[in-house]
Structures are given as structure tokens and as C-alpha cells.
Structure 1
Amino acid sequence: MPVGAPPTYTVLADHYRQQVLSGALPPGAKLPDAAEICGQWGVAVATASLALQHLQVEGYLRTGPRGTFVADDPRVTASSQERLARVSRRGSWLMDGETSRVTAAELVVPPLYVADLFDLDTGDQIIRREYIVGRGKARTMFAVSWYPAQFAAVCPDLLNTNPARNDGVTARILEATGRTITTGRDDLHAREAAALALAPGAPILALVHRWSDDQGIIEYTESCLPTRFTIGYDYAP
């Protein structure tokens, strides 16, 4: 986008999406109407309206006779890219209002596909962390993260199941190892997961991310989201 050019509807949508995900716009908060957005951003009414419609379809917003509001129970969650950006800004991958409960943290011999990703020899161990993320009483994500075994020596929290030590663990790894995540890749597929307290066979969205640098993978995480949850991405073609 040229310097000084009005933002596109995707830029507007991303701005308000981030406001919802960060908690700056809590459930029930009223958004500016399209005319107000036009004045604030210098865009056409059609651009502002399209941005709001986009977020309504994604489940972030609801509209009514009194205006546009953040959904009372927005069934949305942050993408891996957004969580990594939050690690850089805030030192935490949890969004505002999210909590996590660690259900396992141990050194294990990994399945073959994980060993291959980390270029391990047969029998080598790796750190496995399993945890559930929630917002209020709702479970919003179940995840398993894998890390090189040598990270345990410089970041003992990787083998700690205290929930307070889960938040910020990625930032502590980077600080302790002196490494910087320079590459990220996400893969998505469908499966089912009892850890989200869903009925057997209920469909879910599964997400895998790999965060790495030129030395190899720093964190490999497999996570899954409950039925009807939305994860949004922005990208430049």
C-alpha cells in the first residue's frame, strides 16, 4: 500500500480483530459505526462497512438496531503468528483473559515424526509439554509443545507443571538460549479431541506450528480448537 494511501478493509478488519483478541474491546463493547470509522481512518463508507461485515462473519461482532458490538461470547482465538508477535511485545503468548493449565511436562522419547523434525537419533529424548488454554469456564485450546531436550538445562520451567510458569515460557527460552525465532510455519487439519470436553467424534480444527531459526526448530506445537471457533490470518500475496 503506498505511503499516505487510505487503508484497505483488511487493514481495518485486522485492527479491530486485534482489539478484540487483546481485550481492548471486551465482549459487549460498542464499535464506531461506519461513518465514524470513515472519519477516523479517511476511508470510504463501503470500505468501513466491508471491514465490519468481515468481522461479523468471522464471529467477532454482532449487529443490531443499536449498532455494532463485540460478540458476547466471541468464538475466536489468536493465530500462531499473532501469539508469536505477542511474545515479542509482551513476553507472553497468552492473550488477555486467557489462562492455561499444564497437564504434563516431561522428557520422553518422541514419536518418529517428531524425532524426524528435530533430527534426533533413535532413543533420544525431547521435552513434551501438554496444556489446556481457557477463557473463563470455557476450554478454548488443547496443545502439546515439543522442545529440544537441552533446553531443560537453561530453562527448567519447561519441566514445571505450575500454571504460572507456562505463561511466558517461550520468551524465557529465547532469553536463556540467546536464539531468535526467524521462521514460522503453520499447518491445519481436522480431527477430534476429548481434551476439550467435547462429545466423542465432535469435529475440531487442529493447528500445527513450527518456530525455528537457522540452528533448527525451537518450538513445535500441535493444538486444536473447539467446534465453530475461528482463527484468522492476514497475508500479502
Structure 2
Amino acid sequence: MPDSSNRTFARIADHYRSKILSGELPGGDRLPSNKELANTWGVATATVGRALQQLQVEGYIRTSPRGTFVADDPKTAATARDRLGRVIRLRTHLMDGETITVTSAALVVPPLYVAEIFDLDHGDQVVRREFTAGRGQTKTLFGVNWYPAPFAVLVPALLSTSRSKADDITAKVLEATKRHVTDARDDMHARPADAREASHLGLPIGAPILAGAHRWADDDGIIEYGEWCLPPRFTLGYAYNPQP
């Protein structure tokens, strides 16, 4: 059986990681002392220390003689799972403090691999939306999302680049289509940035990035397929159940 202290340490780290990612604990906020946290969670201070050490390694917090604080500019990013959770709970795929700029939105004939993902016939179209997200002066994500072409009739905002119509676009799609994401998958790999990605993220061509793709679907097929990449030195973190 897994050590219960290991489960508790991970649960504490997950709790504060989520609060920092959501913006509930903004940069500069001071965390309670280790002793106070230990009393709150009903664990030994050593367990709290392990959790905080993990968050420090990931870049979420910093320590000083005055205490433990949320990093002023944490190099953290939301996973596709985090963003889907935000859509379901709050109607937005953006994290607190994050803004979005949609650089293109159109019906297009997709590349072959995208056509295969959507099970399209030759020449069929899909909606393609290209965007950059950021927090302040920091770019947090460059992405391209794809949707079935019929969705554009139900959700005209899919073909708009207006910022005011962008943050809740996935929620609008789910509501208008009456679809529900029941199957989700993320794939990630590290590679050099191409010219387009480098331009959007303000990086040199060839800079290292973490690139990923998500597929959100139900029994009727793909609802949203997204491709995205993060600047270097950003950390993605997520919890999972180790039980089969």
C-alpha cells in the first residue's frame, strides 16, 4: 500500500498549485507558516515541508527569512485539463489574469492529419482559430484550435477575432451544440520553435518549447482539437490517481 504521508504531501502540493494557477493566490501572497499548515492539514511539519519543496522546485513559490511567498512571476502554465475544468466551472478557458488575442478565425480546408482526426472527406472544411494568450507582458501560450465546420452556424463567434467573444468560445460551443466532453486526451513533446511559433511567443527561431495537442470529444466525435506550445522554462503540473 502507498505511504499515506506520500498521498498527503501530494494533496497539499496539488491544493496550493491549483490556487496559484487559478489566481486565487496571486504573486507576492504569503503562505501560512509550516507549523500553521501542519495544523490545518493535520500532518507533520516534515510532510508540509516536502510539499512546499516540490512547489519551490516547480517555480510556484519562493522562500526567504521572512516566510514563504507565491512567486511574483511564476513560470507556470495551465494544462489542457486545467483549461477544460475552467470551461466547465467558469465558462472561460483562460486562467485568472490571462488575456487572449485571436489572430485569425476562418473556415479552411485543413491539413490531411487534421482531416483524419475529424474523419472528413477530401475538400471538407473545418473552423481554424489561431490565438496567443498572455499574462501582462509574458506570453503564456500560442495555439490553434479546430472545430467541425457546422459549429460555425450554431456559434458565429467562432469566425470572429473579437477579444470580447474569445474567452468563453468553448463554453458557447458546448451550449449551442448540446455536446459534452466525455473523452479527453493530451499529448506533449519538446522541440524547437518554428518561425510562426517563435514570432507569436517572442522567441528566437529554434528556441526550445513544449508543444502539445488536446482532443476533446464525445460519442459523436471530436468537439475541439487544439495544438499549442509554451515558452521555455514554463512548468506544467497535474495530479492523477495512481490506483488502477
Do they superpose with TM above 0.5? yes
Aligned residue identity for 2:108:
V
1:111-164: per-residue Cα shift (whole Å, max 9, x none)? 000000000001000000000000001111000000000000000110000011
Who is 2:210 aligned against?
A: 205
Counterparts of 1:122 and 1:228 in 2: how far apart (Å)?
Answer: 40
Counterparts of 1:32 and 1:114 in 2: how far apart (Å)?
Answer: 48
Aligned residue identity for 1:159:
L
Counterparts of 1:21 and 1:228 in 2: how far apart (Å)?
Answer: 16
Unpaired stretches in structure 1, ≥5 consecutive residues: none
Who is 1:31 aligned against?
A: 31
Which SS does the other structure have where 1:230 is aligned? coil
Who is 1:233 aligned against?
A: 238
Q: Tell me by how many angstroms 1:10 deviates.
A: 1.0
1:153-204: per-residue Cα shift (whole Å, max 9, x none)? 0001100000111101101100000000011100001231212010121101
Who is 1:223 aligned against?
A: 228
Unpaired stretches in structure 2, ≥5 consecutive residues: none
Who is 2:73 aligned against?
A: 73
Who is 2:48 aligned against?
A: 48
Aligned residue identity for 2:166:
N
Counterparts of 2:23 and 2:140 in 1: how far apart (Å)?
Answer: 15
Aligned sequence identity (%): 59
Q: Tell me by how many angstroms 1:229 deviates.
A: 0.4
Contact 1:6 1:43 in 2 (8 A): no
Who is 2:175 aligned against?
A: 175
CA 180–217 in structure 1, closer or farther in 2 if over 3 Å, else same:
same
Counterparts of 1:200 and 1:213 in 2: how far apart (Å)?
Answer: 37
**TM-score normalised by length of structure 1:** 0.96
Counterparts of 1:196 and 1:132 in 2: how far apart (Å)?
Answer: 8
Contact 1:6 1:41 in 2 (8 A): no
Q: Tell me by how many angstroms 1:7 deviates.
A: 5.9
Contact 1:182 1:211 in 2 (8 A): yes
Counterparts of 2:37 and 2:29 in 1: how far apart (Å)?
Answer: 15
Q: Tell me by how many angstroms 1:6 deviates.
A: 10
Who is 2:14 aligned against?
A: 14
Q: Tell me by how many angstroms 1:232 deviates.
A: 0.5
Aligned residue identity for 2:69:
F
Moved over 4 A (4+): none
Q: Tell me by how many angstroms 1:212 deviates.
A: 0.5
Counterparts of 1:46 and 1:198 in 2: how far apart (Å)?
Answer: 40
Matched, 1:92 2:97: no
Which SS does the other structure have where 1:173 is aligned? helix
Equivalent residues in 2 for 1:186-201, closer than 5 Å: 186-191=186-191, 192=193, 193-194=197-198, 195-201=200-206
Aligned residue identity for 1:221:
G
Counterparts of 2:158 and 2:109 in 1: how far apart (Å)?
Answer: 16
Who is 1:214 aligned against?
A: 219
Counterparts of 2:75 and 2:6 in 1: how far apart (Å)?
Answer: 30
Q: Tell me by how many angstroms 1:26 deviates.
A: 0.7
Aligned residue identity for 2:240:
Y
Equivalent residues in 2 for 1:99-138, closer than 5 Å: 99-138=99-138
